[in-house]
Chain A
Amino acid sequence: MLCRLGGGFGTLGLASVLACETPAAAGPLTPHNGHFPPRAKRIIYLFMNGGPSHVDTFDPKPDLEKFDGTDPPQGASKKGKLMKSPFAFRKAGRSGIEVSELYPELSKCIDDICVVRSMHHETPAHERALLLMNSGNVQPIRPSLGSWLTYGLGTENQNLPGFIVLCPGKPVVGPQLWSNSFLPAVYQGTHINNSSIDPKTVIRYLQNREPAPEQRRQLDLLKAMNDIHLAERGPDTQLDARIESLEMAYRMQFEALDVFDLRKESTPVRERYGPGQFADACLIARRLVEKGVRVVQIYFGNDQPWDDHKDITNHRQHAGKSDRPIAALLQDLKARGLWDDTLVLWGGEFGRTPTSEGAKGRDHHSRGFSMWLAGGGVKGGHVHGATDELGMDAVKDRVHVHDLHATILHLLGLDHEKLTFRYSGRDFRLTDVHGQVVKGFLA
């Protein structure tokens, strides 16, 4: 681990040069320990691309009712009049946290959720904010969170990719959001377009062209030839690694076919998640983490569905498609004993203005917005931080994206100041020179 993190290219090797003493079979994705015992082993990141409004979901603002239709105070800087939420908020669970009517099912899980109402950053534009949320930088020049995590921890199932991104289509910005950037390519996210889930085509080249026994015969010959080649050349970890990965690929064909096959789930389970692309993605996410995939990220939809500039009541549709599936996912993780070591994260690239845009919409807003965390190591039934009375600015216990990233790494057993990669003359971090672990999230 130290060798890997310090040496950068260490075990990956350039040509036949291998600086680290590692067993031949230990590939770059072999699971390894972080800096301290983790609170969670894996993460499911539910990304509500487009930017869900905080004042319509998890951050109730009675003052918006009071001052509905009036000018915002000086300094609030946004155009448009203050606009109350069209959705009612209700206290939920024993904790009594208020959640909007958009999430009736999820409200029932509120005692397991840590709602963060004081997220903020400086970039209320989709592309830059998406990059910031995913890589800690507003330009497409840094590795993504998932890449850092698989770099730092490897992944538990070598027959499946360690970092899987589900999106029916593509979010704005696209593949840079799961890019390895300057980290080795092995840490890039594998994008699965779940607009149709045919287990045979979700992963590229997964489909076996030959009947399994025929392909096995090819693999056996290949192994024999590779062994002769290796024996004539003496020890060589690069040759070993490729031999090993061919066998893994053969097994992956079956394991991946299985994991993406939702027909293997019982009818009651499928009914709990409900219909739809997002629901299917949530169920696949559960199947993936169950199999030991380190990072699963689900984008809510193609392009940026939550970007409701014209009519905020469209949030009802998006929430309608995601309320039941998320609640089912949380319950399912619990039922299967995965809860304590799976971190679940919900949020978009920013929130939306407490003021109106046009008659009924809301604009981008990054000065204060909400996200939530649940699962391994997270304090449930808890609200962290607050925006001011109008939902304009995060004012109490502010959490920047860098702080969120530091905390995610912390929960997974990584010190954000120590997880570094030497590149371009310095050691880079996900959090650059920023970030503080938010103790308030932790159970």
Chain B
Amino acid sequence: MRFHLPLVTVLAVGMWATLCASAADPKSDPAQLEFFEKQVRPLLVEKCQECHGSQKQKGGLRLDSRAAVLAGGSSGPVVVAGDPAKSRLVEAIGYADTLRMPPKGRLSTDQVATLTSWVKMGLPWPETAGARPATTGSTLKVTAKDREFWSFRPVREPPLPTVKNQDLARSAVDRFILAKLEEKGLRPVVVADKRALIRRATFDLIGLPPTPDEIDAFLADESPEAFARVVDRLLASPHYGERWARHWLDIARYGEDQAHTFQARKYPDGFRYRDWVVKAFNTDMPYDRFVTEQIAGDLLDGPDRVDRLAATGYFALGPVYYGRATADELDDRVDTLTRGFLGLTVACARCHDHKFDPIPTTDYYSLAGIFSSSDYKEHVLTPEGGIDEKAVQEPTDKMAKDKKKDPRKPVIHSLAEGAKTADLKVHIRGNPATLGEDAPRRFLTVLAGDDPPRFAKGSGRLELARAVASKDNPLIARVIVNRLWAWHFGRGIVGTPSNFGALGERPTHPELLDYLAARFMAEGWSIKTLHREIMLSATYQLGTKYDTRSAAVDPDNKLLWRMNRRRLEVEPWRDSMLAVAGNLDPTTGGPPADLSSPDNRRRTLYGSVSRHNLDPQLRLFDFPDPNLTSDRRPVTSVPLQQLFVLNSEFMARQAKSLAARVMAAEPVDSTRIRQAFLLTYGRPPNDRELRLGEEFLSVGGADAWEKYAHVLLSANEFAFVD
């Protein structure tokens, strides 16, 4: 059977023919070259070069250079430049005769017209004009000049700047800050009062409000070390790791399932990674170790293998996509690795050399090859908590249907060396079907030199981990030091914590960043030491008072003339309500629980994190999408959030408990109000607030106190930290 299929391209072809007639030299006509790049090259790459390119040459034909096109195949020439009617290529794509190309399906009429026009034009192809050859995806050469960009230079501890107001500087950190302020003729505001300070430090370190007793103890301690003692007490709290693990989980795009549902891989035991992160913070695991274990914990020797396997959850719990989209999964791994640890957007180089940073596309595939040489593995746990080396469990997405009802054994979701380890080739334009040059598994050229050593052991993951977590890597310390700063101040020294590249922001205080990074490495990569260094500075202890003159000069407070007021993220905000109501269940670790149940009294960290259907309260309050690594949370205020505040069962319950708590503790409204203020805001009410409270309570009925407590929990002061 033959079909008479329409050919509606005559008009388009004619138009192009007219264009060509006026073009003296097709090879140098920029319009034609643009036509080639925009229309023809993508078509050749997508539709032809899989069989007629660098990998395969079916019929002896290659269609990846002008010379090759003109040379033709084993049965002779396929084009006559300028004459489509005599060109077998045009005949084949017309699908009118026995030779029909591409065999998998005919091109669209537009596509046929495009190739026909191109032949008619005489095959314009910018081979010599500096355009990249079609057989490679990468032409970028990293130069010495590229390595002079601020973030790629080696970290050096700078000398401390001199400042005029020596008395305002309590620590080295302050001198860097003061020097910049003095340059602009600015002066920091007064330091925060002790109540504000302990509230700030407590929320910062453990994500909960200080108790009235803790506040009293701090107020009573008049020694110069009083605040240092508060900081040390908080750093030693088991709740410290809970607070800081959640920051890290944003980077790790931690999630316990997939966005899709059909044959989706689930991570019911993903919490073991979450708990590993909590423990790592609580035990002050050196950061280089923290990084190494997450990349290659399975490949390290020594005790605590169970922990180290859990650490690889950083990658093992990553998203996998519907329909074996391996290339997209590798993109996620490279993206989360490089933005997370290095502050570099290497995933931009998947389809082409990075447009702004010195990252050739070969570098992307060098890293991707390490992950394609690694496998996902579920290690079955014994009842004693060890690894059952003999037991096997199929991942949920690979399980046979009839097995789905079998009770799943407890596992650790982890990485393992791949059954096959091999380099990838560059995917030209990101297309896995058109392969370019080899991309040996190794570290980034901008960081590791012009010809970085190849990773030789297995997947190369352990060598990668060593290279990432190395003192010779100028980014690793700068990036984490900046993150810590941002989580303390609400803004990083570099305002784009996961992008230290050309399109990222420049550091406001580059010397301070290097000072902190150098000290951090010199002092054993201790996160807790870094907290102390930052928090014991006068800068951290500044008040949040507004100053008209300073605001006029530096409205964004980039120079830190005051502390930034910050709104609590959803986790500490919810946890605080439970805490002041006396309802918080302080149990640590273990399987996640549904947050939407008003009976869930555990910290928000322990709520389920679904990539498919994120908990509505989390979604509403700026929790990041767990499908992507996230470096900053936006702060949005919209009415739907306040409907939760006004009407949710959760809020009503906490209000009721808080009311009962203060009513039981104090005999009359005036002292009850005082106690409620101390619990919720860490301070006594002023006269006006006391009067407002008494007036409100005098009118209502039996539940007046519940309603009043509800207001206290709903107020800005409860949601913001000075």
Which of B260, B345, B347 interacts with A127 by CB under 8 Å? B260
Given contacts A140-B611, A396-B109, contact A16 B566 (CB under 8 A): yes
Stretch of A104-112, A208-216, A283-291 with 4 or more beta carbons under 8 angstroms from chain B? A208-216
The smallest C-beta distance from B355 to any residue of chain A, in angstroms, reads 8
Bound together, the chains give a CA A61 to CA B253 distance in angstroms of 48
List which A25-81 residues lie within 8 A (CB) of chain B.
Answer: 27-29, 63, 67, 70-71, 73-77
- Chain A positions within 8 Å of B689 at CB level: 225, 228
- Which of B4, B103, B498 sits near A424, CB closer than 8 Å? B498
Q: How far, in angstroms, from A233 to B196 measured CA to CA in the complex?
A: 13
**Which chain B residues lie closer than 8 Å to A127 at the CB level?**
260, 262, 322-323
Q: Are B3 and A389 in contact (CB under 8 A)?
A: yes
B-contacting residues, A328-357, CB 8 Å? none
Cross-chain contact A174 with B636 (CB below 8 angstroms): no
- Select which of B356, B636, B716 is within 8 A of A12 by beta carbon: B636
Chain B positions within 8 Å of A233 at CB level: 544-546, 565, 722
Complex CA distance for A9 and B632, rounded to whole angstroms: 10
Q: State in angstroms the CA–CA spacing of A242 and B504 once bound together.
A: 30
CA–CA, A44 and B100, complex, Å: 43
Question: Is B619 close to A, CB under 8 A?
Answer: yes
Tell me, in angstroms, the Cα distance from A236 to B643 when the chains sit together: 22
Asked if B688 is an interface residue, CB under 8 A from chain A, the answer is yes
> Cβ of B627 and Cβ of A141 under 8 Å apart?
yes
Q: Which parts of A344-380 form the interface with B (CB within 8 Å)?
A: 367
A290 CB, nearest partner CB in chain B, Å: 19
Interface 1/0s, chain B 325-357, versus A by CB < 8 A?
100100000010001000001011000000111
Is the beta-carbon distance between B95 and A75 smaller than 8 angstroms?
yes
Contact B567 A238 (CB under 8 A): yes
CB of B182 closer than 8 Å to a CB of A: no
Residue of A nearest to B692 (CB): A224
B714 beta carbon closer than 8 Å to chain A: yes
Docked Cα-Cα span, A173 to B628, in Å, equals 17
Q: How far is the CA of A73 from the CA of B489 in the complex (A)?
A: 66
Task: Say yes or no for B78: interface residue by CB 8 A criterion.
Answer: no
In whole Å, how far is A132's beta carbon from the nearest beta carbon of chain B?
Answer: 12
Which residues on B sit within 8 Å (CB–CB) of A264? none
Is B635's beta carbon under 8 Å from chain A? Answer: yes
CA separation between A243 and B348, bound complex, in Å? 40
Is the CB of A314 closer than 8 A to any CB of chain B? no
A125 within 8 A of B: yes
Residue A5 interfacial (CB < 8 Å): no
Q: B692: which of A221, A249, A251, A425 is its contact (CB, 8 Å)? A: A221
Q: Separation in Å of the A197 CB from the closest CB of chain B?
A: 18
Flag if A204 contacts B643 (CB, 8 Å). yes
Contact: A239 with B643, CB < 8 Å?
Answer: no
How far does the Cβ of B721 sit from chain A's closest Cβ, in whole Å? Answer: 9
A235 at the interface (CB under 8 A from B): yes
B638 contacts A by Cβ under 8 Å: yes
Whether A185 and B622, one on each chain, are in contact in the complex, defined by CB atoms closer than 8 angstroms, is: yes
Does the CB pair A249–B345 fall under 8 Å? no
Contact A218 B711 (CB under 8 A): yes
From the candidates A18, A75, A186, name the one contacting B103 in the complex (CB within 8 A): A75
- Select which of A15, A28, A224 is within 8 A of B567 by beta carbon: A15
Q: How far is the CB of B645 from chain A (nearest CB, A)?
A: 7
Which residues of chain A are near B5, meaning CB under 8 Å? Answer: 388-389
Q: Is the CB of B261 within 8 A of A174?
A: yes
B55 contacts partner chain A, Cβ-Cβ < 8 Å: no
Contact pick for B319, options A140, A218, A236, CB 8 Å: A140
Query: Is B149 an interface position by the 8 A CB rule?
Result: no
Given A161-B640, A221-B711, A426-B345: A185 and B100 within 8 A (CB)? no
**What are the residues of chain A within 8 A of B261 when measuring CB–CB?**
172-174
> Which B residues form the contact surface with A (CB < 8 A)?
1-6, 8, 95, 100, 103-106, 108-110, 259-262, 319, 321-323, 325, 328, 335, 339, 345, 347-348, 355-357, 489-491, 496, 498-499, 501, 503-504, 544-546, 555-557, 564-567, 611-614, 616, 619-623, 625, 627-628, 630, 632-648, 652, 686, 688-689, 692, 696, 699-700, 707-708, 710-711, 714-717, 719-720, 722
24 contacts between A and B (CB under 8 A): A14-B634, A18-B556, A27-B638, A161-B640, A173-B260, A181-B625, A182-B630, A185-B619, A186-B636, A190-B640, A208-B647, A225-B715, A238-B565, A239-B720, A245-B639, A252-B639, A253-B647, A393-B106, A395-B108, A395-B110, A396-B8, A422-B503, A424-B345, A425-B356
Top 4 A-B residue pairs of the complex, sorted by shortest distance between their CB atoms: A15-B490, A234-B546, A425-B345, A249-B642
